[in-house]
Amino acid sequence: MQMDSFRIPVQQELDFGECRWFLDRNFDECLHVINGDAVLKALTVKGQHILFSIEGSGDSLYVKILQGKLNNEIEQEITSYISEWFDLKRNLTEFYALLLEHEQLAYMVKEYRGLRLIGIPDLFEAISWAIIGQQINLNFAYKVKRRLVEKYGDRIEYGDNVYFTFPTFNKLATEASAEDLRSMQFSNSKAIYLLTVASAFSNGEISKSVLIDLPDQISRQKALTSLKGIGIWTANYALMKSLREPGSIPYGDAGLLNALLAHGLIRDKKDHLSIDRLFNRFSGWETYLVFYLWRSLAVRK
């Protein structure tokens, strides 16, 4: 019998249930599916359409290939994708120590322990998702993303369901027009932003490795914000989710500000002093703090 599965050992503290729950949060997510204890995801790996499921089991993740052929190369690619996605290599001890020192936030250690900062390994996807999410509520943002993904992403059918991958920049750069995006309820400007970014990726002007090769966070930020439609929020969101820059705070984020208000950590949304002071206490862990604050906004069913 063919073994289409493998395990990824996890050395760090991980509560897969917490992560899985965050991946859903009652939103209409189209890029993965929660099925019982498992998370199902489609990816194009080395040109091959792969559908896999992940389950947490003790000190490892159990990955099963549901569609596509497993070989060493594919296993490596998927392993590194999952490792990035769930930030499996980071030791959170220091972050939890900092949280415990904070009166209003200490509870998070107990509540959310083992929740990893869920990332978006594909930089183009991270930026696109940020652009879609600019200044609109998340429910609507997920709807728009679904339309985009269902039209331009790769599809994999399995069982009674269809699974999608995020569209490639080449596909969007060559096949999508502003009018196409408008019909999916992109605003005029966002349609332009997305196409601009797609062609910037397409002509090699920007990519994950281009950014990684830059000397520091500031220059990465500048490289991103030089593109029309990418402001500080979008740039830092992408750096946080895709490059995992620990200090890339998505300043001005509506959810972040609401969470800070809800915890009584700022007087109002312009209380920049308190925000800076808080993040200074979490130096090196700023994005983890942002992520846990976002987590605090989501309500369990």
Partner DNA sequence: GTCCAGGCAGTGC
Partner DNA sequence: GCACTGCATGGA
- Quote the least distance from Cβ 291 to DNA, whole Å: 9
Least distance in angstroms from the C-beta of 118 to DNA: 9
C-alpha–C-alpha distance, residues 206 and 224, integer Å: 8
Residues 216-245 that bind DNA (CB under 7 A): 225, 227-235, 237, 241
Q: Under rule CB under 7 A, which residues in 171-200 are in contact with DNA?
A: 182, 185-189
**Least distance from DNA to the Cβ atom of residue 251, Å:** 8
Total interface residues for DNA by CB under 7 A: 37
Q: Which is nearer to DNA, 135 or 209 (CB)?
A: 135
Q: How far is the CB of 246 from DNA (least distance, A)?
A: 16
* Out of 147, 180, 210, 255, the residue judged to bind DNA by CB under 7 A: 255
Under rule CB under 7 A, residue 138 binds DNA: yes
List the one residue from 28, 252, 267, 276 that touches DNA (CB under 7 A): 252
What is the Cα–Cα distance from 226 to 137, expressed in whole angstroms? Answer: 25
Q: Does 67 help bind DNA (rule: CB under 7 A)?
A: no
Please give the full DSSP string across the chain, using - where no structure is assigned: ----EEEEE--S---HHHHHHHHHTTS--SS-EEETTEEEEEEEETTEEEEEEEEEETTEEEEEEEES---HHHHHHHHHHHHHHTTTT---HHHHHHHHTSTTTTHHHHHHTT--------HHHHHHHHHHHTTS-HHHHHHHHHHHHHHHS-EEEETTEEEE-PPPHHHHHHH--HHHHHTTT--HHHHHHHHHHHHHHHTTSS-HHHHHTSSSHHHHHHHHHTSTT--HHHHHHHIIIII--TT---TT-HHHHHHHHHTT--SSTT-HHHHHHHHHHTTT-HHHHHHHHHHHH----
Residue 12 or 258 with smaller CB distance to DNA: 258
Q: For residues 63 and 52, what is the distance between their CA atoms, to the nearest angstrom?
A: 7
Q: Residue 96 or 129: which CB sits closer to DNA?
A: 129
- Least Cβ distance, residue 257 to DNA (angstroms): 8
- With CB under 7 A as the contact rule, which of the stretches 48-56, 69-77, 91-99, 135-143 interacts with DNA? 135-143
CB of 283 to DNA, least distance (A): 18
Q: Which of residues 267-296 bind DNA (CB under 7 A)?
A: 270, 272, 294
| Segment interacting with DNA (CB under 7 A) among 1-9, 92-100, 101-109, 253-261 | 253-261
Of 233 and 292, which CB lies nearer to DNA in the complex structure? 233
Residue 18 in tokens = 């917490």
Q: Give the residue with the Cβ less far from DNA, 52 or 237.
A: 237
**Binding residues for DNA, per CB under 7 A?**
129-130, 133-140, 143, 182, 185-189, 225, 227-235, 237, 241, 252-255, 258, 270, 272, 294
